[in-house]
Structure 1
Amino acid sequence: MFGLANQILGTLTALFLIILSVSGIVMWWKRRPAGVLGAPVPLNRPRGGAALFTTVLLLAIYMPMFALTLVLVLVVEAFCLRRLKAVNRWLGLRPDEMASA
């Protein structure tokens, strides 16, 4: 159905995306600090403002599954991840606890 050149191009694109994903994980694994995720420390006050909030709200109205997923992620983070000290420290959710550990 598709020409040989198109199949080769699609295969190479998929292969390079896989290589890019795997090499990113390998580079992070080699450079990560021991025992933590290695993500930057979160800001005290989230940035974004009204434009970001409006955009997310419009997307949630337009795509109900996005809204459901967003609520699920917020609930899991608020009630599960922040209450488990080991997960909390690994994710870097509370920098004050990381410094004392």
Structure 2
Amino acid sequence: MTDKIDNEDLLTCEHCGKSFPGTEPHYAFSDGPWLCEEHAPSLSDAIAQHEQFLAYGENDPVDFDYETREDMEAALADMKADLDANGDRKLVWADEVAA
């Protein structure tokens, strides 16, 4: 859900209901819901979720926006390498402010 204050779109955290501008760090799901920084998943959370998903052979990787299981496995390997190289962190970003 989005609201507006001073003509700026506000996003609403699906977990806690907090409204915040897109210029604040947040996590966005591919199908639209948002999470504020506090409730955003970490890299290690994403790794665990991918591992659980792949462990259950009947799942369709399209649910995670991958075309094939091999694509998802490759992304998982990249996430693990990133975790090893850079440590854990929240998976957040902020929209750029228009000039």
Asked if these proteins are the same fold (TM beyond 0.5), I'd say: no
TM-score by length of 1: 0.33
Q: Which is richer in strand?
A: 2
Larger radius of gyration: 1
TM-score by length of 2: 0.34
Q: Which is richer in helix?
A: 1
Greater length-normalized contact order (CA 8 Å, ≥ 6 residues apart): 1
